[in-house]
């Protein structure tokens, strides 16, 4: 089973960035934990700060893998093109946000991704990625 985690802008700074909101752990260290906990899953990881690169990756993975766990970060709230990319592909996408986007600024309540995803998880910290992964495995 092949699952891809795709993270959007500024998530390369997890562990250093606004730690009161996003926590102290880097994504690289969290990914190692996930990979060792689910050895039966081929779990790939891609992060970019560039909108077009995220879309290219979604298009590439979306016809080849069994699922995508996507945190589009700030582009969630602005990118029609990311929503279109999810609608265009074949594999299921689960939207994950580390923070509770509905408990923050008003602009974070809009997602161009939620309506195109099979489901969304927000506010559960990094654990949200694992919950999404377990859903895809069980499916
Ligand atoms: C985020 C929430 C977004 O609103 C924000 O722009 C991010 C991270 C989250 O994981 O909580 O960069 O996607």
Tens-digit pLDDT profile for residues 84-135: 999 999 999 999 999 999 999 999 999 999 999 999 999 999 999 999 999 9
Q: Is 77 tagged catalytic?
A: no
Number of domains the chain is built from = 1
The CATH number covering residue 68 comes to 3.40.50.9100
Task: Find the farthest-apart pair of alpha carbons in the chain and give their distance in angstroms, rounded.
Answer: 40
Structural domain including 37 reads 2-138
The 10 Å CB-count burial string (b at 16+, else e) for 44-82 is: bebbbbebeebbebbeebbeebbbbbbbbbebbbebeeb
pLDDT at position 114: 98
Q: Which of 30, 65, 75, 97 is catalytic?
A: 97
The answer to whether the predicted template modeling score (pTM) of the entire model surpasses 0.95 is yes
User: What tens digit of pLDDT does each residue of 14-52 get?
Assistant: 999 999 999 999 999 999 999 999 999 999 999 999 999
Q: Is 97 tagged catalytic?
A: yes
């Amino acid at each position: 089973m092949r699952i891809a985690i795709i993270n959007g802008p500024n998530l390369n700074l997890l562990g250093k960035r606004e730690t009161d909101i996003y926590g102290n752990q880097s994504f690289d260290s969290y990914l190692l934990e996930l990979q060792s906990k689910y050895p039966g899953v081929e779990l790939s990881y891609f992060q970019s700060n560039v909108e077009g690169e995220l879309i290219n990756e979604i298009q590439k993975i979306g016809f080849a893998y069994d699922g995508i766990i996507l945190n589009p970060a700030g582009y969630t709230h602005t990118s029609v093109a990311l929503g279109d990319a999810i609608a265009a592909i074949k594999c299921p996408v689960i939207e994950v946000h580390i923070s509770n986007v509905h408990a923050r600024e008003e602009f974070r309540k809009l997602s161009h991704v939620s309506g195109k995803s099979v489901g969304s998880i927000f506010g559960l910290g990094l654990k949200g990625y694992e919950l999404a992964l377990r859903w895809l495995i069980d499916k």
